[in-house]
Amino acid sequence: MKLMNKNSNGFSHTAMKKVKIDGEEVLKPYTYTLNAGGVADVPKEIADIWLKIPGVEKYVEPEDLKKVEEDAKKELEALKKEVEKAKAAETEALKQVEELTAELEALKKEVEKAKTAKDGENK
């Protein structure tokens, strides 16, 4: 992930990196640096740490900005569709609640009529 440092301090982080030596993979320490006012491409784990520091931001190449904007628009459209589906589901659920409430009221009236009729027979 590319990061830009707008902070006046430079940063460095040492991490273990897999390197092939004589056809064998070994772990060796590797130091990543992000100079003040500079841009660096670092692994996500290190980027997550540095992004918590004020002044360190994700960096997008100007030519990649259009692609990022298009991706953001697609994601926004997908979210809008999800919201519409959720609203439709909510409307349907409210309609079912109203139907069930009306059905319950009708049943209550029938029970009341049955009680009244039973009470009239017992007298």
**Rounded Cα–Cα distance for residues 108 and 73 (Å):** 52
pLDDT of residue 123: 60
Tens of pLDDT, residue by residue over 22-79, are 888 999 998 999 999 999 999 999 999 999 999 999 988 887 888 888 899 999 999 9
pLDDT of residue 122: 66
List the chain domain ranges.
2-88
| The dihedral formed by the CA atoms of 9, 14, 15 and 20, expressed in degrees to the nearest 10 | 120
What is the model's pTM? 0.48
pLDDT of residue 63: 79
pLDDT above 80: residue 105 = yes
Helices (H), 1-123: 44-50, 62-122
